[in-house]
A and B are shown apart, each in its own frame.
Chain A
């Protein structure tokens, strides 16, 4: 047991490389063009930005499936405020504030009212989507105001993405928030007994996840050029897939690493984009392939974990070992 890389940690890397090679060949090299590579990154951005807050929540062993509706709500509200007031810049603080508020609400319900995060997510998913649809029937689709059009340039978005991703990676890997979150996922009782403020940490990560959904709303509107009817639809599932595809366990803890959300999001984007490059434009087939592949990866990760355990714990030597008292590989016991 040296500090060797664990087999289960390698699965997401191998999956990524296999997918990349497979689609590079399958698209006859089209995927390796600089345009395609740029598209890959651009299409992963939304998943990664909305996902890096969720990563904290998953690290604690909870789940946040509200990012999709949060992106929609904060985007629609922010854009409308910008249009009504005529102040384009207002969309940034409003989107972040609405996202943050919804995150705080989630965190409060989960930590103080002890509602399981999964149940809460489902309720919010349905309820808030209804609110968004109601608002959109009143105000319709709106476009990014003139003064904010700089957001839509891909150079700006990629730049902003890198800045945010680096800050989040830092928060997750090198600060108390990240470390305490992983500790809560490993064993909540232990964390509490050491003196980790568990409730406050839970509220903090849900709030952070909400804030990142606010950023997600801005990125989403910047990519499309405005709000849409399908804003954030299915995004929570893409994020969850990205996290688990990357090799984070549902129970969180030490298995949660920042690079995993990036790796997972890229893998998923490669599948979607690769399939469309190969001419499989039917989105239904693409979706079923995505689902199938997720199943395979999760199975492989669990298998790799189990193999490791079996080797360490239940190594059962051959039953009919010769009765020699000094097997050659046996270390001599020190004589006292």
Chain B
């Protein structure tokens, strides 16, 4: 292997009495793409944050290019050629895209105290062009943009310092296939330039595909370091969890189940600029998958079906013979919706588990005189915590104290606790580790068995192929092809249609 650019010896970091990192030794080679793998809470993000200067280390040493490296802030890290794209930092919504690229560094475009926006936008555009990223409208505020566009802006921000080491924390999970490929190309280009990348991703197949070396963390400690070409996803999963879990992951049958009673009939669903004349049926006990590239409109389907966008066309819910026009109506008709953006669209992250759990079930819990008895409310939340084994100190714990996987368990569990007929899942495994992923897949199988119709919208093709009975491939807001599980149900076939 080539010379090393970053050396870490005996790194420790604790938050109160809990250790996030213990005696981490880590070496990053020049021109190396290095993956960090581990379950939620295993200390991956903490390690990256320390390298990026967000957290000080309690003890241990780091060196870059053989010189001592002790960053006090992200700016120190930038000065040494290190920058990071964080999992949940995001951009500032009330500022335009171009300003977000140079956030904290707008001073360099200042002339006598006035920032030259034109020059800054030109510089930002240059960054997008240089790295071949899809450019957003730089003058537009970022608050109306999709997660994907925002992620690209963050990426441009990290690249704008022309880093030697790029740290990527769960970037691909927010991207659809075409932009993921762009990112892979960017990483390869980076490597060819002799620069280095550290990547965190929960998608093990992806990690095997793009990295050279993988370090596996468990409970804040390094449990192994392997060359990617000597390993495979199953071995990695075992290292990471410490036990074999590959057995019950995706479905293992090839039998589509599309003959149940029709639950939902969607006809001519259209949203200007997003969806055009989308029609489909969903049956009881069926998992209907949706996939497509970033502008294909798959996420709009979920919103429109749940009555959130005021779309043209009809959404006919057959069990109650209702035409769904609004979200409250969908809620009243045994439908559930798990949106893609968990922290901003699904959960009240500052409120506690109990308040979050009970929200979709308020109508069912109502007693005489509209009473929501505290006992009933608490036992519903307790039930969800127990049934879905949410790791928590209790139902009064605020949501933002939970890890991503446990948040998602509450998010999904509160719907499954209801008497549902239709469940819309938009990227349900985004940002959760394999353990929770496996749990979510088995919950989906269970839901299927009880006759719930599931609409599964996902950016991860393997997931849709692994779980769906039928797959609708979308392009530019239209459904372009339907594939059944017993037909040509392969990644190649689907990608062929998607692009």
Q: Are A322 and B59 in contact (CB under 8 A)?
A: yes
Question: For residue A330, which residue of chain B has the nearest CB?
Answer: B19
Cβ proximity bits A160-200 to B, threshold 8 Å, 1 near / 0 not: 00000000001000111101101100110111111111001
A3 vs B131: C-alpha distance when bound (angstroms):
49
Question: For residue B395, which residue of chain A has the nearest CB?
Answer: A3
Given the interface contacts A174-B373, A317-B58, does A325 sit within 8 Å of B348 by beta carbon?
no
Question: For residue B339, which residue of chain A has the nearest CB?
Answer: A193
A113 vs B294: C-alpha distance when bound (angstroms):
33
The answer to whether the Cβ of A34 comes within 8 Å of any Cβ in the partner chain is no
Cβ proximity bits A1-26 to B, threshold 8 Å, 1 near / 0 not: 11100000000000000000000000
- Residue of A179, A194, A312 contacting most chain B CB atoms (<10 Å): A194
Residues of B within 8 A of A177 (CB): 370
A219 vs B143: C-alpha distance when bound (angstroms):
46
A64 vs B426: C-alpha distance when bound (angstroms):
37
The answer to whether the Cβ of B186 comes within 8 Å of any Cβ in the partner chain is no
Q: Are A336 and B243 in contact (CB under 8 A)?
A: yes
Residues of A within 8 A of B59 (CB): 320-323
The answer to whether the Cβ of A232 comes within 8 Å of any Cβ in the partner chain is no
Residues of A within 8 A of B401 (CB): 1, 312
A333 vs B339: C-alpha distance when bound (angstroms):
35
Q: Are B326 and A190 in contact (CB under 8 A)?
A: no
The answer to whether the Cβ of B363 comes within 8 Å of any Cβ in the partner chain is yes
Q: Are A186 and B218 in contact (CB under 8 A)?
A: no
Neighbour of A193 across the interface among B19, B326, B337, B374, CB < 8 A: B337
The answer to whether the Cβ of A68 comes within 8 Å of any Cβ in the partner chain is no
Neighbour of B22 across the interface among A174, A176, A320, A325, CB < 8 A: A325
Residues of B within 8 A of A114 (CB): none
Which of B7-15, B451-459, B490-498 participates in binding chain A? Answer: B7-15
A170 vs B374: C-alpha distance when bound (angstroms):
12
Given the interface contacts A321-B59, A325-B23, A330-B17, does A187 sit within 8 Å of B370 by beta carbon?
no
Number of interface residues of B (CB under 8 A): 60
Q: Are B394 and A193 in contact (CB under 8 A)?
A: no
Question: For residue A318, which residue of chain B has the nearest CB?
Answer: B58
Q: Are A194 and B331 in contact (CB under 8 A)?
A: yes
Q: Are B370 and A193 in contact (CB under 8 A)?
A: no
Cβ proximity bits A308-336 to B, threshold 8 Å, 1 near / 0 not: 00001001111111110101011101101
B208-267, CB < 8 A from A: 218-221, 241-243
A176 vs B397: C-alpha distance when bound (angstroms):
22
Residues of B within 8 A of A334 (CB): 219
The answer to whether the Cβ of A254 comes within 8 Å of any Cβ in the partner chain is yes
The answer to whether the Cβ of B346 comes within 8 Å of any Cβ in the partner chain is yes
Given the interface contacts A183-B355, A253-B351, A325-B22, does A319 sit within 8 Å of B56 by beta carbon?
yes
Q: Are B243 and A174 in contact (CB under 8 A)?
A: no
B324-383, CB < 8 A from A: 326-332, 337, 339, 344-352, 355, 358-360, 362-363, 366, 369-374
Residues of B within 8 A of A192 (CB): 308, 327
- Residue of A190, A200, A254, A333 contacting most chain B CB atoms (<10 Å): A190
A141 vs B344: C-alpha distance when bound (angstroms):
53
Neighbour of A180 across the interface among B60, B218, B362, CB < 8 A: B362
A180 vs B370: C-alpha distance when bound (angstroms):
13
A179 vs B59: C-alpha distance when bound (angstroms):
47
Q: Measured between C-beta atoms, what is the minimum distance from B54 to chain A in Å?
A: 10
A316 vs B13: C-alpha distance when bound (angstroms):
9
Residues of A within 8 A of B374 (CB): 174
A200 vs B331: C-alpha distance when bound (angstroms):
15
Q: Are A3 and B396 in contact (CB under 8 A)?
A: yes
Residues of A within 8 A of B16 (CB): 315, 317
Q: Are B371 and A174 in contact (CB under 8 A)?
A: yes
Question: For residue A196, which residue of chain B has the nearest CB?
Answer: B328
Q: Are A187 and B344 in contact (CB under 8 A)?
A: yes
Q: Are A176 and B363 in contact (CB under 8 A)?
A: yes
Residues of A within 8 A of B371 (CB): 174-175
Q: Are A254 and B17 in contact (CB under 8 A)?
A: no
B binding-site residues for A, Cβ under 8 Å? 10, 12, 14-19, 22-23, 55-56, 58-60, 218-221, 241-243, 306, 308, 326-332, 337, 339, 344-352, 355, 358-360, 362-363, 366, 369-374, 393-394, 396-397, 401
Q: Can you give 27 A-B contacts (C-beta < 8 A)?
A: A170-B369, A174-B373, A174-B374, A175-B366, A180-B362, A183-B355, A190-B346, A190-B348, A193-B306, A193-B327, A193-B337, A193-B345, A194-B337, A195-B330, A197-B328, A254-B350, A254-B352, A315-B16, A316-B56, A317-B14, A317-B15, A320-B59, A323-B10, A327-B14, A329-B17, A334-B219, A336-B243
Given A186-B355, A189-B345, A190-B346, 10 additional A-B pairs, CB 8 A: A1-B397, A3-B394, A174-B373, A183-B359, A190-B348, A195-B329, A254-B348, A317-B14, A323-B60, A325-B22
A binding-site residues for B, Cβ under 8 Å? 1-3, 170, 174-177, 179-180, 182-183, 186-187, 189-197, 200, 253-254, 312, 315-323, 325, 327, 329-331, 333-334, 336
Q: Which 3 A-B pairs have the closest CB atoms?
A: A195-B331, A336-B242, A186-B348
